[in-house]
A and B are shown apart, each in its own frame.
Chain A
Amino acid sequence: MKNRTELSLYVPEPSGRPGDEPDFSNVALQDAGEQRCPDTLTPEIELRDMPYGLIRVLDDEGKAVGPWTPDLPADHLLRGLDAMVRTRIFDDRMFRANRQGKTSFYMKSSGEEAIGAAQSLCLGERDMCFPTYRILSWLMARDYPMTALGNQIFSNAEDPLKGRQMPVLYSARDYGFYSISGNLGSRLGHAVGWAMASAYRHDDSIALGYVGEGTTAEGNVHEALTFAGVYRPPVILCVTNNQWAISSFSGIAGGNRTTFAAKALAYGIPGLRVDGNDFLAIHAATNWARERALGNKGATLIELVTYRASAHSSSDDPTRYRPKNEDKAWPLGDPIERLKQHLIVRGDMTEDDYRELYEDCEKRVRASIREAEAIGTLGQSKPSVKAMFEQVFKEPDWRQIEQRREVGY
């Protein structure tokens, strides 16, 4: 009993709260180009240092440096930039639409636009992503009609989901975009199952699933990782670590002790930690995992280190729980600015070109939202109430039929 310390309960706290200066000294960083790039077929046992580094390609000047630099043509990067810019403009306008009572709810992906855009353009048409609610840029990069997004958000007469789902919980099979639900982590196992099915059929399509860093604490994430480790399906499992789960900082999910990429180690799959605000790094790491999956080497876990620059949702006010201007202090910068800077450094774009691209994006977003508004904002028009009773099952049973008649449809 000698020299024993008295027990005390530890509850992690973030580096700052409102009124404090932003402090990200706890976020382990590495310079662009520093992390090694192993061959995609390297045995997992030789990759166990990877979760503790940080794959970055774009340096502070916007130059692409190091072994992860992907060989991407300018039009590919411009397409990514276009998707990211439209995502940000669309988000801002829809957030405002919520404040004007045009929709019940909205969620922005500001600061995280590079993730969906880069991965959407990296993966093939027949691949399937199992998104969270902050992956809008995936759809933008595949030119999903923005009017249809608006119709879903307004739950209007043309809502592709027939008024059954909250705003932003999209589903778009033809765009490789699985149905989103508000339950957290419950689709990560679906991504694994999808990939197992692809492997069983000797297909060449892969799956990509997302969870936030807060959701890594859910049991279903560990179930998915266990199955991914056991059956080695062609799946990429992504943790978008945007530092905040509503008001809980990443330390509440265990992020103070280790990295989220390091969760991979216990499941025997590679874990990569990637600068989530670096379009090129995300693209390169995703392509690495894709090549590995198509080489029948199984799953990869990718942590995308980013920052949730906006509120959790339209119902949230982050000034009540985190320091002001944290987004400005975020050491990995803004993903749009960084890609833009890179295109300028490459000589593929000028400031004027960017202004033109931005204005063009603005015009297209505005026109699409206007079109959706003309069909109706929340409550102005809606699908037939008949749709409420449809697709509970493939064919309704007597309950839906009787109850539909009861309400007069």
Chain B
Amino acid sequence: MTAMNMVQALNSALDGKMNEDPDILIFGEDVGYFGGVFRVTDKLQEKYGLTRCFDTPISEGGIVATAIGMGAYGLRPVVEIQFADYILPAFDQLVSEAARLRYRSNGDFWAPITVRVPYGGGIFGGQTHSQSPEALFAHVVGLKSVIPSNPYDAKGLLISAIEDDDPVIFFEPKRLYNGLFEGRPDDAVKPWKNHPLADVPEEIYRIPLGKARTVREGSDVTVLAYGTMVHVALSAIEECGIDAELIDLRSIVPLDIDAIVESVRRTGRCVIAHEASRYGGFGGELSALVQERCFYHLRAPIERVTGWDTPYPHAFEWDYFPGPQRVIDAMQRTQEV
């Protein structure tokens, strides 16, 4: 075991898989010599050579299109889109091609590609470096969407994503890359190194896609979260003293519906937290599923804690970001009924 931050854990996953499987190619903007703007592909070109890890033109559509072609040929490309905010030029490739290829060709061709995407706010990136577009992809049948919240999960989930024979969008919460973030911007940065989930094995291991993690057991309310919001919610729970059960979904497609239903039926209350704006967000789907499957166990209305329905603002970052106080308020509302 070594203490790793999330960047190092992701790098370790890529390194381990590249070492094991010559069919894994990594490419994207600035990922080659420079090692990526967030350093996730650091030293991989040096170690595996120019044709295994290389820079691409600034062309997200081109990156995903060539990855699909390589995947159809028999390789297993892992590509990086520099920011989730820049993935939209590749939307057609992901929706119309990667997600549909296996189905429409009756298994003649498929796209075993992983698309790594730094996402989320908290870095003063304004509307072009902060967004959380996971709901756009969760709606697309044929795509998987994975969102780790800590170094240990990041490595195990990325390895599973790479080995998966279907296209996976791997959302990396960039505010968590180098340290914990609990939604309290005035606190000093908390490095990962003392966190139990920063103990990351050097070797290959896997966390199956579609298996949630219970972060904290509790009986008063179930809090569903993923990515950065897992830590925001945990901090909120610890502050307010409500005995909440916190579930880190880890992937939203496939979704661990059994874990959600089991927990909410037990607690009778549910709070859903995500950074993305509310209307049409993935919280809406979670809310509907909980209502459909747990209606007779619910003792309070389902609460959603989300970004507001505005573009991600620059100067109002902490007014927009769903911080711990808003999670506390929502949990308390569920207790008042």
Within the assembled complex, what's the spacing in Å between the Cα atoms of A169 and B69? 18
- Across the interface, do A190 and B69 meet the contact criterion of CB distance under 8 Å? yes
Give the residue name and chain of the B residue nearest to A178 (CB): B109
Q: Which B90-131 residues have a C-beta within 8 angstroms of A?
A: 92-93, 96-97, 100-110
Q: Which of A43-51, A217-225, A278-286, A308-316 contacts B (4 or more CB under 8 A)?
A: A217-225
Give the residue name and chain of the B residue nearest to A166 (CB): B104
Give the residue name and chain of the A residue nearest to B64 (CB): A189
Q: A193 and B66 in contact (CB under 8 A), knowing A186-B92, A220-B61?
A: yes
- Across the interface, do B96 and A183 meet the contact criterion of CB distance under 8 Å? yes
Q: Which of A24-32, A330-338, A391-399 contacts B (4 or more CB under 8 A)?
A: A391-399
- Across the interface, do A192 and B69 meet the contact criterion of CB distance under 8 Å? yes
Within the assembled complex, what's the spacing in Å between the Cα atoms of A171 and B104? 8
- Across the interface, do B62 and A189 meet the contact criterion of CB distance under 8 Å? yes
- In the complex, whether A363 has a CB less than 8 A from a CB of chain B is no
- In the complex, whether A198 has a CB less than 8 A from a CB of chain B is yes
- Across the interface, do B66 and A189 meet the contact criterion of CB distance under 8 Å? yes
- Across the interface, do B104 and A165 meet the contact criterion of CB distance under 8 Å? yes
Within the assembled complex, what's the spacing in Å between the Cα atoms of A279 and B108? 30
Range of interface residues on B (Cβ < 8 Å): 35 or more
Q: Which A218-235 residues have a C-beta within 8 angstroms of B?
A: 219-220, 223-224, 226-227, 230
Give the residue name and chain of the B residue nearest to A161 (CB): B106
Cβ of A196 to closest chain B Cβ, rounded Å: 6
Chain A residues with CB below 8 A from B103, complex form: 164, 391-392
- Across the interface, do B62 and A226 meet the contact criterion of CB distance under 8 Å? yes
Chain A residues with CB below 8 A from B101, complex form: 179
Within the assembled complex, what's the spacing in Å between the Cα atoms of A179 and B62? 18
- In the complex, whether A273 has a CB less than 8 A from a CB of chain B is no
- Across the interface, do B59 and A193 meet the contact criterion of CB distance under 8 Å? no
- Across the interface, do A227 and B59 meet the contact criterion of CB distance under 8 Å? yes
Q: Which A157-176 residues have a C-beta within 8 angstroms of B?
A: 160-162, 164-165, 169, 171-173
Choose among A179, A197, A224, A393 the residue that contacts B73 (Cβ–Cβ < 8 A): A197
- In the complex, whether A10 has a CB less than 8 A from a CB of chain B is no
- In the complex, whether A361 has a CB less than 8 A from a CB of chain B is no
Choose among A196, A392, A394 the residue that contacts B66 (Cβ–Cβ < 8 A): A196
Within the assembled complex, what's the spacing in Å between the Cα atoms of A165 and B69? 20
- Across the interface, do A183 and B92 meet the contact criterion of CB distance under 8 Å? yes
Give the residue name and chain of the B residue nearest to A189 (CB): B65
- Across the interface, do B105 and A224 meet the contact criterion of CB distance under 8 Å? no
Q: A189 and B61 in contact (CB under 8 A), knowing A181-B97, A194-B69?
A: yes
Within the assembled complex, what's the spacing in Å between the Cα atoms of A41 and B110? 34
Cβ of A238 to closest chain B Cβ, rounded Å: 16
Q: A193 and B107 in contact (CB under 8 A), knowing A186-B93, A220-B92, A392-B141?
A: no
- In the complex, whether A322 has a CB less than 8 A from a CB of chain B is no
Q: A160 and B66 in contact (CB under 8 A), knowing A179-B101, A187-B97, A197-B75?
A: no
- In the complex, whether A77 has a CB less than 8 A from a CB of chain B is no
Apart from the given pairs A171-B106, A224-B62, A227-B56, 17 other A-B contacts in the complex at a CB distance below 8 Å: A165-B104, A169-B104, A171-B105, A179-B105, A179-B109, A189-B61, A189-B62, A190-B65, A190-B68, A190-B97, A192-B65, A193-B66, A196-B69, A201-B75, A219-B89, A220-B93, A394-B110
Q: Could you give 29 example pairs across A and B, Cβ below 8 Å? A: A164-B106, A171-B108, A173-B108, A178-B109, A179-B104, A181-B104, A186-B96, A189-B64, A189-B68, A190-B97, A191-B69, A192-B66, A193-B66, A193-B69, A193-B72, A194-B70, A195-B69, A196-B69, A197-B70, A200-B25, A200-B51, A224-B62, A226-B62, A391-B102, A392-B102, A394-B164, A394-B166, A397-B253, A397-B255
